[in-house]
Structure 1
Amino acid sequence: MRAIDGHVILGLLGQGGMSRVFKVRSALDGRICALKLLRPHPHLVDLLGMEEIQRRFSFEAEGLAGTDHPHVVRLKGQQLEGAQWYVLLEYHCRTVGEWIGESPLVEEPSRPVRPDLALTVARQTTSALDVLHGRGLVHRDVKPANLLLDGQRRVKLADFGLSKLRGEREVRPSQLMVGSPFYAPPEQERRPEDVDQRADWYALGVILYRMISGRLPEEQPDWSPITREFGSEGSRFMARIMASQPDQRPTRAADILAGLDTMEGYWRNHREAVCRLRWEAHAQSARREDHAGELREQPLKVSSHAARNVFAVDDLWRPVRRLARRYLEEGGTVRDAVSGRIWQQAGSAESLEWTDALEHVQWLNQKRWAGRSTWRLPTVEELLTLLEPEAPLDDFCLQPLFDRRQSRLWSADRRTFIAAWIVDVESGYLGWQDFTCPAFVRAVSSVRD
Structure 2
Amino acid sequence: MRRIGGYPIVGALGRGGMGRVYRVLEPETGRLLALKILDPHPHLVSVLGEPQARRLFLVETAVMEKVRHPHLAAMIDRGVHDGRPFFVMEYHCHQLADHIGEGDVLERPTRPLPAHEAFRITREILQGLAAMHRLGVVHRDVKPANVLLTENDNVKLIDFGLSKIPGVSFPKTRRIVVGTPYYAAPEQERDPEAATAASDLYSVGVVFYRLLTGHLPSELSRAVLPHPFDGPSWKAFFRKAIAVNPAARYRSAQGMLRALRALQKSFDASLEQACRLWHEEAPRRAEPVRCRREAVKIRRQEAEKFFDLDALWRPRHETSNRWTLYGDVLWDGTTGLWWQRGGSSQRLTWPEARAAVQRLRDARFCGRSDWRLPTVDELATVLKRPRYPDTFCLEPVFSRDVRRFWSADRCSFRSAWYASSELGYIAVQDFSCRMHVRAVAGPEEGPPERQGEP
Task: Report the TM-score, using the length of structure 1 for normalisation.
Answer: 0.93
Change (3 A) 1:169 1:277: farther
Opposite residue 148 of structure 1, the aligned amino acid is L
Provide the residue aligned with 2:335 in structure 1. 339
Provide the residue aligned with 1:115 in structure 2. 115
Opposite residue 89 of structure 1, the aligned amino acid is M
Change (3 A) 1:391 1:208: closer
Deviation at 1:377, TM superposition (A): 0.2
Q: Is 2:357 aligned against 1:361?
A: yes
Opposite residue 417 of structure 1, the aligned amino acid is F
Matches of 1:242 and 1:226, distance apart in 2: 17
Say whether the 8 Å CA contact 2:7–2:27 is kept in structure 1.
Answer: yes
Provide the residue aligned with 1:313 in structure 2. 309
Q: Which moved more, 1:136-145 or 1:75-84?
A: 75-84
Change (3 A) 1:247 1:227: farther
Say whether the 8 Å CA contact 1:141–1:179 is kept in structure 2.
Answer: yes
Provide the residue aligned with 1:179 in structure 2. 179
Map Cα deviations across residues 45-74 of structure 1 (whole Å, 9 max, x no partner): 232222222222112112212232110101
Provide the residue aligned with 2:255 in structure 1. 255
Provide the residue aligned with 1:322 in structure 2. 318
Q: Is 2:242 aligned against 1:242?
A: yes
Deviation at 1:40, TM superposition (A): 0.8
Provide the residue aligned with 1:95 in structure 2. 95
Change (3 A) 1:142 1:388: closer
RMSD of equivalent CA atoms: 2.3
Change (3 A) 1:126 1:278: farther
Change (3 A) 1:373 1:306: same
Provide the residue aligned with 1:299 in structure 2. 295
Provide the residue aligned with 1:349 in structure 2. 345
Say whether the 8 Å CA contact 1:186–1:244 is kept in structure 2.
Answer: yes
Deviation at 1:80, TM superposition (A): 4.7
Match of 1:371 among 367, 374, 385: 367
Deviation at 1:327, TM superposition (A): 0.8
Matches of 1:93 and 1:418, distance apart in 2: 14
**1:27-42 alignment runs, 5 A limit:** 27-42=27-42
Matches of 1:92 and 1:63, distance apart in 2: 20
Q: Which moved more, 1:167-176 or 1:422-431?
A: 167-176
Map Cα deviations across residues 293-324 of structure 1 (whole Å, 9 max, x no partner): 21111011112222122212111111111222
Say whether the 8 Å CA contact 2:385–2:423 is kept in structure 1.
Answer: no
Say whether the 8 Å CA contact 1:323–1:389 is kept in structure 2.
Answer: no
Say whether the 8 Å CA contact 1:138–1:166 is kept in structure 2.
Answer: no
Matches of 1:252 and 1:17, distance apart in 2: 29
- Matched position secondary structure for 2:324: strand
Say whether the 8 Å CA contact 1:343–1:444 is kept in structure 2.
Answer: yes
Matches of 2:259 and 2:278, distance apart in 1: 24
Matches of 2:151 and 2:160, distance apart in 1: 22
Map Cα deviations across residues 278-306 of structure 1 (whole Å, 9 max, x no partner): 999xx8xx9x8832421111011112222
Map Cα deviations across residues 123-155 of structure 1 (whole Å, 9 max, x no partner): 000000000000110000101010100000000
**1:83-162 alignment runs, 5 A limit:** 83-162=83-162
Q: Is 2:9 aligned against 1:13?
A: no
Matches of 1:53 and 1:424, distance apart in 2: 39
Matches of 1:220 and 1:136, distance apart in 2: 33
Matches of 2:43 and 2:322, distance apart in 1: 61
Map Cα deviations across residues 182-201 of structure 1 (whole Å, 9 max, x no partner): 21011111100121111100
Provide the residue aligned with 1:170 in structure 2. 170
* Unaligned runs of at least 5 residues, structure 2: 444-450
Q: Is 2:74 aligned against 1:74?
A: yes
Map Cα deviations across residues 9-54 of structure 1 (whole Å, 9 max, x no partner): 1111111221111111122432111111110123312322222222
- Matched position secondary structure for 1:137: coil
Q: Which moved more, 1:237-246 or 1:132-141?
A: 237-246
Provide the residue aligned with 1:406 in structure 2. 402
Opposite residue 45 of structure 1, the aligned amino acid is V
Say whether the 8 Å CA contact 2:271–2:389 is kept in structure 1.
Answer: no
Provide the residue aligned with 1:265 in structure 2. 265
Runs in 1 of length 4+ with deviation above 4 angstroms? Answer: 272-280, 388-394
Provide the residue aligned with 1:47 in structure 2. 47
Q: Is 2:427 aligned against 1:431?
A: yes
Map Cα deviations across residues 379-412 of structure 1 (whole Å, 9 max, x no partner): 1111111124896698233211211111111111
Matches of 1:390 and 1:115, distance apart in 2: 10
Matches of 1:192 and 1:292, distance apart in 2: 59
Change (3 A) 1:414 1:18: same
Query: How many positions carry a matched residue from both structures?
Result: 444
Provide the residue aligned with 1:218 in structure 2. 218
Q: Which moved more, 1:306-315 or 1:385-394?
A: 385-394
Opposite residue 199 of structure 1, the aligned amino acid is S
Q: Which moved more, 1:288-297 or 1:63-72?
A: 288-297
Change (3 A) 1:304 1:42: closer
Provide the residue aligned with 2:447 in structure 1. none
Opposite residue 319 of structure 1, the aligned amino acid is P
Deviation at 1:115, TM superposition (A): 0.6
Matches of 1:149 and 1:279, distance apart in 2: 34
Opposite residue 347 of structure 1, the aligned amino acid is G
Say whether the 8 Å CA contact 1:353–1:436 is kept in structure 2.
Answer: yes
Identity of aligned residues (%): 39
Change (3 A) 1:208 1:391: closer
- Matched position secondary structure for 1:395: helix
Provide the residue aligned with 1:24 in structure 2. 24
Matches of 2:387 and 2:249, distance apart in 1: 37
Deviation at 1:6, TM superposition (A): 2.1
Map Cα deviations across residues 325-374 of structure 1 (whole Å, 9 max, x no partner): 21110011111122221111101001111011011111111222212221
Change (3 A) 1:127 1:391: closer
Deviation at 1:181, TM superposition (A): 1.2
* Unaligned runs of at least 5 residues, structure 1: none
